[in-house]
Amino acid sequence: MQPLFKAEVKSIRVVTDLLKAIHFKNVALISIFDEGVMVTVEEPNCSRATAYLKRNLFERYVKRTDEPIPPFGIQLGTLMDFLGLLSETGSTGAAADTCSWKYEEEGSPLELSQLGSHVKSTSRITTMEPTPETMEDEHDTAVRVIMKSNWLKVAFDDLEPPIERVTLSFSPSDPCLSLTGETETNAVRMEYPEQSESFVAFQCSEPTTFSYPCSQLMHCRKALDQSDEVSLRVSEEGVLCMVFRIRVLRHQDLEAYAQFTFNPLDMDIA
């Protein structure tokens, strides 16, 4: 019988860089769809990160069409270690940067194999029952912003300990965005005027302010450093969603995205 899923990755390095960007927890949820693969990690009731391995990151992508594939858990660090090992094994040049993925059936290991090598290297990674997710997806959006990443990086450079909380304030009038890092005794503030070159798009109909733990926001720092553009959405409840467009320098035709979701401080978790 045909495997539930079989694919060939165009670039191990691109996939590894994307997984590194979300690696703040070691147990990840793998979800396989017709459109691609989602790899998700979560800090319960606080934050969630998802790497989107879209179909354009794969040379071949075959999913059995007669049934959905149930999500499964995996040790993310083990997956990244095996990808690194395969990229160094056997062949040189472009072939060393490709590998195949196979998921035979529900509960079977995820199998990774080197392509283009005289000596075939195969790794089988044990899969696990998925852990229930605690972060909700559907929220009414109050603010939508698209920013150039380099402007946000400047602000994040100041968000180092002892900064404990970060307050984001959005407004339809200037300054339309301010970011404040707070300690018990001090604060640093950065403002972004409406006409600033930092914005690609800005949509806010009324003043909106929410605060987040700095330690949680810093989970997205690796994705921010790799990205050239970031989309921010804030729900009416204060849930912050940040989608980073990751630069793929050696593969200009590829698009890679990582999404981070953060609950605000003092949010009532049902």
57/52 Cα distance (integer angstroms): 10
Structure confidence at residue 90 (pLDDT): 46
Per-residue b or e along 7-37, where b marks 16 or more CB atoms closer than 10 Å to that residue's CB: bebbbbbbbbbbbebbbbbeebbbbbeeebb
> Tokens representing 269?
């978790």
Could you tell me which residues are beta bridge partners of residue 259?
50, 243
> Tokens representing 187?
């604060």
Structure confidence at residue 135 (pLDDT): 82
Structure confidence at residue 252 (pLDDT): 63
> Tokens representing 67?
């049934």
226/261 Cα distance (integer angstroms): 18
Sign of the C-alpha dihedral, residues 59, 230, 183, 142?
negative
Structure confidence at residue 13 (pLDDT): 87
Structure confidence at residue 184 (pLDDT): 85
Of 56, 66, 63, 68, nearest in space to 18 by CA = 56
* Residues of the chain where predicted confidence (pLDDT) is lower than 50: 90-91, 95
144's enclosing H/E stretch is strand 141-148
Delineate the domains of the chain, giving CATH numbers in brackets.
5-128 (3.70.10.10), 141-262 (3.70.10.10)
The SS3 of residue 93 is helix
Q: What would the pLDDT profile of 28-85 be if each residue is shown by its tens digit?
A: 999 999 999 999 999 999 999 999 999 989 999 999 887 799 999 999 999 999 888 8
Cβ partners under 8 Å of residue 132, min gap 6: none
Structure confidence at residue 159 (pLDDT): 85
Count of alpha carbons within 13 Å of 224, Cβ hemisphere only? 19
